[in-house]
Structure 1
Amino acid sequence: MRLTGCRAMEHLLRRLKTASPWVVDAGITLLVQIAVTMPFVIPRGPELPAATWPAYGLTALGVLPLLWRRRAPVAVLTAISGVQMLYIATLDGPGQPLPYAALIAVYTIAVLSPRRRRLAVLTVSGPLIFIGVRMNTGDVRELLFSLFCFCGAYALGRSQLRATRVEADQAAARERARIAREMHDVLSHSVALMVVQAEAGPVSVRTAPERAEAAFDAIAGTGRDAMTQLRRMLGVLREDGSGPRRPQPVLAELAALVRRVSDSGVPVAYATTGEVRPLPPDIETTAFRVVQEALTNAVKHAAPSRITARLDYGPRSLTITVTDDGRGPATGGGGTPGHGLIGVRERAAAHGGTARTGPGPGGRGFEVEVALPLVGSAPGVAQ
């Protein structure tokens, strides 16, 4: 029951973050109006001031400006404070436990207003609070309590602003890292294949002219594919978030990827085991990028004669294994650490999966093995 309540609260908070500011402010105004209404509806002793309609009307008037708190926070605080002063000076109605509307206005100023306006509000508010308390009870305890509430609302607003900025910086850093991984995967893979094909071209021209033409066609095809992917990524960067994003690579495209690598002169055997089925889009994109990076790493560093790529569809996880028979880590081949293998580990860890890299079966070649959970799992990265 408690877990269900927590999930409902998390869902509500997510909805509030994406809701229209006008809807949020209207909800806040309604909640404050309910709070200030309570002293008027709760039965009161005969010795207390009577709850009259004029008093309630003026109280409600002091809440209404909250609807515009984001557009003109200083003007809203001024209007609310003016209504409260008028209430104290002209009516002897029920008081409020807290100046709810004024505290929300102060919080909004702390979050949204520039430094000069905030300093002006801080300078003027002290004397105004003193005057308001003097007109009401003149009690020192009320003065200290009012100053404490004012400073607390302001401090809360400033801390919320800092937390929002930190969250925005962290989100920007994550997005930069994601873009860097995508750019690395696209460029590193395509350039590696083009280099291999270009190096084989002169040999083919001398020994097998008919194969040279195929090599140059493969270079052109790889370049065109790289340009297409880069344009797609740059198009995503230019989007403002209002339109649909371009599709990310999926596992159905692995066959074409394997064919391009094989055309470069390094045969690749691709196989799947288990029940092949559609997976969540983020899992499919990660799996595609892992295979792409492992193939690129082998072509660039290991000089293999053969590469094997296998996807094992388990009931609870997807296991990706890419093995080559090249030089291996012992001779500085496929095991050379770099941004690519770091990116593989980061991608696996982002899904709560594991990544293992090292010598292949029997100590020959190099192997990359990544396990991505298809259900909730504890995160971990194997070195």
Structure 2
Amino acid sequence: MDEQRGHGYGGPPWARGAPGGPPWPLRWADREPGDRLPWRSTLLLAVFVMVGSGFAARNQPDRESLDALGRALLLLGSALLLLRHRHPVPVVFATAAVTLVYFGAGYAYGPVFLLVAVACFAAVVQGHRRAAWWALGLLWAGHLLIAHWLYPHLPPDGDSVAPWGQEIPVFGFVVAILAASELVRVRREQWAAQRAERAAAERRRADEERLRIARELHDVLAHSISVINVQAGVGLALLDTDPEQARTALTTIKAASKEALGEVRQVLQTLRAPGEAPRTPAPGLDRLPELVEQAAAAGLTVRTSTEGEPVPLPPGTDLAAFRIVQEALTNVVRHSGSRTARVVIGYPPGRGRVELRVDDDGPATGDDAGGSGNGLAGMRERATALGGTIEARTRPDGGFRVRAVLPLRPKETP
């Protein structure tokens, strides 16, 4: 039997009994019961019922001795239990019928009750509680008929009416079977719900990680390729008339591509070696001068200023702030006719947040410059993930403004 069939749903490692997973009941409940015939447990049960019924017959001399017919009925009831996982409803009614025939033939009371108990247990656990209740109810009704009304016409000879008091333990036995079965059924449903919740959480974490990596790659590549695109155009235009300026453009392209390759390599390291610390620190606002230089290489003059007293930013907030400014400047290079931009980093006193503002004077050029169109969405996702906000809109004077507010303490992940 392959691993997926042997453990049900083919879920994550913790649901397949991997080290560090949940205790054995969950792994047992995760198995597909219909995949194998439970011959080991059935064989042990058959031996116990046969031996126990032999002892019961010797201790109840007023009942019929256990002959070939009686043993055949016990074996038949035990053999039916081999199919209790695949066909629980027919098995529970068949075992109840075999047990009723066994009692009607006058054989001794004993472990034969166990056959019905196991069949009912299997039916209830698999969700067929109504069938189990009906089977037990019919068995009990048949027992009442045999013990109190039909006994003169059935073996053993000279049998007398059974006292009504003996029905109390029979009733208790029925209730115990149903209660135990319902308890296991409820626990299995709880285990299944836990598995589903943990699998959903694993999928959410995987989706969030993929989204994070996609944002990082987009921001790295979009900025660097925009610089490369602009400089490549400059180099082509000046290749014949001004070779020295074309050489400068090619040098800028080389530097931008090298930096992009380094940042992409850093992002991909998290995929190849999850859990390991990165070899280089994640970028932050301390690298803002590098963005200014790269924008200048693309023909964009960037003026930066700081409002308030700078405070250290948490790593996640620092990275998000850097990427938002980077993407905003990339959009200016791509989509704006302005060749100047202003970046303001604000630290409002006592507010517990950092404010970013990137302005250009426009107007929009109307072309996409090869962009993916995911820049603004990526900025919003970064801000929202930290519990912050972001606005990106056209100013009344025709320019464009990106304004982000990021808390210094990111929101707790539920």
TM-score by length of 1: 0.63
Q: Measure the CA separation in 1 of the matches of 2:241 and 2:294.
A: 23
Equivalent residue number for residue 29 of structure 2: 110
> Structure 2 counterpart of 1:123, which letter?
H
Q: Measure the CA separation in 1 of the matches of 2:263 and 2:219.
A: 10
- Correspondence 1:187 to 2:106: no
Question: CA contact under 8 A between 2:314 and 2:409: conserved in structure 1?
Answer: no
Q: Residue deviations 1:309-361, cap 9 Å, x none?
A: 111112321111111122238x5789x9921001111111111111111123x
Q: Measure the CA separation in 1 of the matches of 2:307 and 2:337.
A: 27
1:375 to partner: Cα distance = 4.3
2:278 counterpart (245, 250, 268): 245
Equivalent residue number for residue 283 of structure 1: 317
SS at the partner of 1:154?
Answer: helix
Q: How does 1:142-221 map to 2 (within 5 A)?
A: 142-221=176-255
SS at the partner of 2:85?
Answer: helix
Q: 1:230 to 1:337 in 2, by over 3 A?
A: closer
Q: 1:116 to 1:194 in 2, by over 3 A?
A: farther
Equivalent residue number for residue 58 of structure 1: none
Larger Rg, first or second structure (1 or 2): 2
2:256 counterpart (182, 207, 222): 222
Equivalent residue number for residue 256 of structure 1: 290
Q: Measure the CA separation in 2 of the matches of 1:144 and 1:191.
A: 69
1:114 to partner: Cα distance = 5.5
Q: Residue deviations 1:206-227, cap 9 Å, x none?
A: 5544322221110100000011
Q: Of Structure 1 and Structure 2, which has the larger fraction of its residues in helix?
A: 1
Q: 1:343 to 1:118 in 2, by over 3 A?
A: farther
Q: 1:282 to 1:118 in 2, by over 3 A?
A: farther
Question: CA contact under 8 A between 1:301 and 1:333: conserved in structure 2?
Answer: yes
Q: Measure the CA separation in 2 of the matches of 1:258 and 1:115.
A: 65
2:377 counterpart (342, 347, 350): 342
Equivalent residue number for residue 365 of structure 1: 399
1:184 to partner: Cα distance = 0.7
Q: What percentage of residue pairs aligned between the two structures are identical?
A: 32
1:317 counterpart (353, 356, 359): 353
Question: CA contact under 8 A between 2:252 and 2:297: conserved in structure 1?
Answer: yes
Equivalent residue number for residue 60 of structure 1: none
SS at the partner of 1:347?
Answer: helix
Q: Measure the CA separation in 1 of the matches of 2:269 and 2:411.
A: 34
Instruction: Please report the RMSD computed on the Cα atoms of aligned residues, expressed in angstroms.
Output: 3.4
Q: How does 1:25-174 map to 2 (within 5 A)?
A: 69-70=23-24, 105=25, 107-111=26-30, 113=31, 123=85, 130=117, 139-174=173-208
Q: 1:129 to 1:255 in 2, by over 3 A?
A: farther
Work out the number of aligned pairs and report it.
275
Question: CA contact under 8 A between 2:346 and 2:356: conserved in structure 1?
Answer: yes
Q: How does 1:300-315 map to 2 (within 5 A)?
A: 300-314=334-348, 315=350
Q: Measure the CA separation in 1 of the matches of 2:225 and 2:240.
A: 24
1:365 to partner: Cα distance = 1.9
Question: CA contact under 8 A between 1:327 and 1:333: conserved in structure 2?
Answer: no
Q: Which runs of 5+ in 1 are unaligned?
A: 1-16, 26-68, 71-104, 379-383
Q: 1:220 to 1:149 in 2, by over 3 A?
A: same
Q: 1:161 to 1:23 in 2, by over 3 A?
A: closer
Q: Measure the CA separation in 2 of the matches of 1:210 and 1:23.
A: 64
> Structure 2 counterpart of 1:146, which letter?
A
1:281 to partner: Cα distance = 0.4
2:387 counterpart (341, 352, 356): 352
1:118 to partner: Cα distance = 8.9
Q: Measure the CA separation in 2 of the matches of 1:333 and 1:176.
A: 25
Q: Measure the CA separation in 2 of the matches of 1:181 and 1:23.
A: 32
